[in-house]
Structure 1
Amino acid sequence: MPYEVVWTRRAQRSLSSLDKVAVSRIIRKVEEIRDSPHLFLDRLVSVKIWKLRVGDYRVFIDLDEAGKKLYVIDLGRRKKVYK
């Protein structure tokens, strides 16, 4: 059973600031990983969230294993999100 994708307000705001090509790539990639997210996600060491690489962008995700939900917390260009 695939995970349900939930976009937070912060992630939606970050998406709205990007160009259409980047937005479509990010949304498509998030939808692609719904069936097996662990195969595509890397766990961050300092916090208990996961990251998804989409080109120069990083998408930060919180997984709810019990509820089968994938919360997209935030996203942005690699050089800006790690500062």
Structure 2
Amino acid sequence: MVPPGRILLLLLLPVATAQMTPGSCSGCGPLSLPLLAGLVAADAVMSLVIVGVVFMCARPRRRPTQEDGKVYINMPGRG
């Protein structure tokens, strides 16, 4: 069951949106093409860096078994 306060908030949200005047944003001009291209390129680079770091941290590491340091008499490859 949804709490009554959240239902009231959902009912008042359209009223609050209707009170806002369109175009009330001051200084929100369109982005220039070089700035937009730079933002997209920076986002792509940062995404690749994050993917690379996650890949490097999440890959399984090869751990030597405990018996690799032991030398046996009848095992010619280990001596």
Q: TM-score, normalised by structure 2?
A: 0.24
Greater Rg by CA: 2
Q: TM-score, normalised by structure 1?
A: 0.23
Q: Compare the two structures and name the one with the higher helix fraction.
A: 2
